[in-house]
Amino acid sequence: MRRLADQWNEYLCLDAGDGEKLEQWGPYVLRRPDPQAIWPKDSGYDLWNRPDAVYHRSRSGGGSWEFRKTLPEQWKIHYKGLTFKVAPTGFKHTGLFPEQAANWDWMSSLIRDHQDEELRILNLFAYTGGATMACSAAGAAEVVHVDAAKGMVAWAKENRDLCGLENRKIRFLVDDTEKFVQREKRRGRTYHGIIMDPPSYGRGPNGEVWKFEEQITPLLKACADILDDHALFFLINSYTTGIGATVLDNLLSCILLPDHPDGTVETGELGIPLQQRRMVLPCGIFGRWQRS
Ligand SMILES: C[S@@+](CC[C@H](N)C(=O)[O-])C[C@H]1O[C@@H](n2cnc3c(N)ncnc32)[C@H](O)[C@@H]1O
């Protein structure tokens, strides 16, 4: 199953190819690397030659932005009722993964359909909080946002304020995902929705090493233990090379379904439609469990 993030007004993926993508982020056009876009770009599309900023990879790793126009350090972008801060960062990110909007819509509508329930949601590897804001705005009673990077948690708090969610119950934690989940298990705390967007490789705040292939199974087992008996959903994303949707399907079927048989699993690919051609930019995979 392919799920498209095709409801954006202020973000567009204009074209992609030859290892890059050309995107409209509000008023600005950014050109940056995308290792999946190995097909030829639309070379007749003139905007490829006129982006406002281009991210160049350096041979020694990392890279930097070349600004062809003076861009503000940061600006805002809206998605439905949400507002986020966008900024070109030193590691080619912009502070938002626009394909995740397909997941935000899915979880928001589940939460809205169960307004009568006091829903506690846990967002792991939560980055700048796209999913956190979507769940809180949809009416979740509490959202717990966990990320290892202090800077990302600070950015997520800015997004909370931009979304006007200051008075909602959102707990922001700079913590290691695995340690946090184990602690919640000991405390006997449970969640009605768990979201995770783990990187291939990452580090906790105290240098704890995260490797997707090695740690995903124990983490999912621990998460299955803190998923409430009346849970509504569970979501895992992956951008890890070599991990296909069937792997997520098998993981969720083996680990989640035995304790939570009252739900169904769906896995697939996330994508963003290209504006310039009838093609889709693939953007990682998802595995979803949802109460039947
Ligand atoms: C790819 S981003 C997630 C994207 C996000 N879910 C979204 O769509 O907006 C991965 C995040 O995981 C965090 N991270 C990496 N290792 C971690 C760990 N061991 N514990 C907690 N967070 C970690 C990073 O700081 C980063 O913000």
Residues 2-31: pLDDT tens digits?
Answer: 999 999 999 999 999 999 999 999 999 999
Contact present, 226 and 234 (Cβ < 8 Å): no
Nearest residue to 267 via CA among 282, 289, 241, 291 = 289
| Ligand 1 pocket check for 173: Cβ under 6 Å | no
38 alpha carbon, distance to own chain's centre? 23
**Digitized pLDDT (tens) for each residue of the chain, 292 residues in all:** 899 999 999 999 999 999 999 999 999 999 999 999 999 999 999 999 999 999 999 888 889 999 999 999 999 999 999 999 999 998 899 999 999 999 999 999 999 999 999 999 999 999 999 999 999 999 999 999 999 999 999 999 999 999 999 999 999 999 999 999 999 999 999 999 999 999 999 999 999 999 999 999 999 999 999 999 999 999 999 999 889 999 999 999 999 999 999 999 999 999 999 999 999 999 999 999 999 9
- Residue with the smallest CA separation from ligand 1 atom 26 is 127
| Ligand 1 pocket check for 199: Cβ under 6 Å | yes
Nearest residue to 215 via CA among 206, 203, 231 = 203
Contact present, 126 and 193 (Cβ < 8 Å): no
| Ligand 1 pocket check for 128: Cβ under 6 Å | yes
- Residue with the smallest CA separation from ligand 1 atom 11 is 125
| pTM of the predicted protein model | 0.97
Amino acid 21 reads K
Taking the CA atoms of residue 163, residue 168, residue 173 and residue 178 in that order, the dihedral angle to the nearest 10 degrees is -100
Domains of the chain: 7-71 (2.60.40.1180), 95-291 (3.40.50.150)
**Residue 181: CA count within 13 A, CB half-sphere:** 25
pLDDT, position 60: 82
Our CA angle for 145, 131, 176, nearest 5°, is: 30
95 three-state secondary structure: coil
Dihedral sign for Cα 227, 121, 107, 1, please. Answer: negative
Q: Encoding tokens for residue 274?
A: 């290209």
| Ligand 1 pocket check for 42: Cβ under 6 Å | no
What are the phi and psi torsion angles at 269 (to 5°)? -110, 140
Q: Can you tell me which atom of ligand 1 is nearest the CA of 195? A: 6
Classify residue 155 as exposed, middle or buried by CB count within 10 Å of its CB (0-12, 13-18, 19+): buried
| Ligand 1 pocket check for 180: Cβ under 6 Å | no
| Ligand 1 pocket check for 204: Cβ under 6 Å | yes
CA distance 195 to 273: 24
Query: 193-196 and 233-238: which strand pairing?
Result: parallel
pLDDT, position 205: 95
Residues 210-262: pLDDT tens digits?
Answer: 999 999 999 999 999 999 999 999 999 999 988 999 999 999 999 999 999 99
